[in-house]
C-alpha cells in the first residue's frame, strides 16, 4: 500500500508539473529542418521569450540582424528569440525550410532558434498564434510582429512590424523582464 501511495504521489507531482506550463508555451513545434517536435515549455520555460513571425522577402527582413543582436546580447541572461517563418503576408516566405535556414544563416548570421513554417494571420492562425492573439488582443498584421513573454510565460508586450528589435521600448521591456526573474 505504501508503494502504491508513493506511485500515486509521484504521478500527482508529474501532473502538477505539467500543468505548470504557461499557456503561451504549451505547444509542440518542429524546429526548422528538424524531424521531431519540441515542447516549447520544456525548452524555454523560465526564460524571457521573444516570438517573431519572420519572412525572407519582406521590407522588414533586415530586422533579422537586430533580432540576432538581441539574442547574442541577452542570451546569457535568459532571453531566447524564436523565429516562425510565415508565408501569410504577401507571400514573402515562399522557400523551403532548407532555403529559409540557409538564407537566415548566410545573410544575417541567425543562430536563434527557428521553427517550421507557421500561419500567423488571423484567418488561418496556427494554435500558437491564436493563443498569442488571445493574450495580446491582436494578431500580426504583417511579418516581424513581436510578442514578449516574461520568465513565467506571461505576455508583457507586443509590437507591430515597424517597431525594430533595437527600439528603446523593446530593449527596456526585455531588460525589465530579465531583471524581474532574478
**Active-site amino acid positions:** 58
In order of 17, 25, 31, 84, 166, the CA distances from 129 in angstroms are: 24, 11, 16, 10, 23
Q: For residues 74 and 117, what is the distance between their CA atoms, to the nearest angstrom?
A: 25
Burial (Cβ within 10 Å: 0-12, 13-18, ≥19) of residue 95: middle
How many CB atoms are located within 10 Å of the residue 171 CB? 14
Residue-by-residue DSSP string for 124-162: G--HHHHHHHHHHS---SSTT-EEEE-TTS-EEEEE-TT
Q: For residues 109 and 134, what is the distance between their CA atoms, to the nearest angstrom?
A: 32
Amino acid at each position: 500500500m505504501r508503494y502504491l501511495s508513493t506511485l500515486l504521489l509521484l504521478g500527482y507531482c508529474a501532473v502538477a508539473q505539467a500543468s505548470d506550463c504557461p499557456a503561451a508555451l504549451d505547444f509542440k513545434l518542429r524546429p526548422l529542418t528538424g524531424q521531431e517536435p519540441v515542447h516549447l515549455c520544456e525548452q524555454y520555460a523560465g526564460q524571457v521569450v521573444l516570438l517573431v513571425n519572420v519572412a525572407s522577402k519582406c521590407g522588414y527582413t533586415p530586422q533579422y540582424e537586430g533580432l540576432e543582436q538581441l539574442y547574442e546580447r541577452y542570451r546569457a541572461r535568459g532571453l531566447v528569440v524564436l523565429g516562425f517563418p510565415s508565408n501569410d503576408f504577401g507571400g514573402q516566405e515562399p522557400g523551403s525550410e532548407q532555403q529559409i535556414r540557409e538564407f537566415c544563416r548566410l545573410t544575417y548570421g541567425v543562430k536563434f532558434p527557428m521553427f517550421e513554417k507557421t500561419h500567423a494571420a488571423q484567418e488561418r492562425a496556427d494554435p500558437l498564434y491564436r493563443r498569442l492573439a488571445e493574450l495580446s488582443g491582436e494578431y500580426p498584421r504583417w511579418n516581424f510582429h513581436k510578442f514578449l513573454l516574461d520568465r513565467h510565460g506571461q505576455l508583457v508586450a507586443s509590437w507591430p512590424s515597424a517597431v525594430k528589435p533595437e527600439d528603446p521600448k523593446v530593449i527596456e521591456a526585455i531588460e525589465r523582464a530579465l531583471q524581474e526573474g532574478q
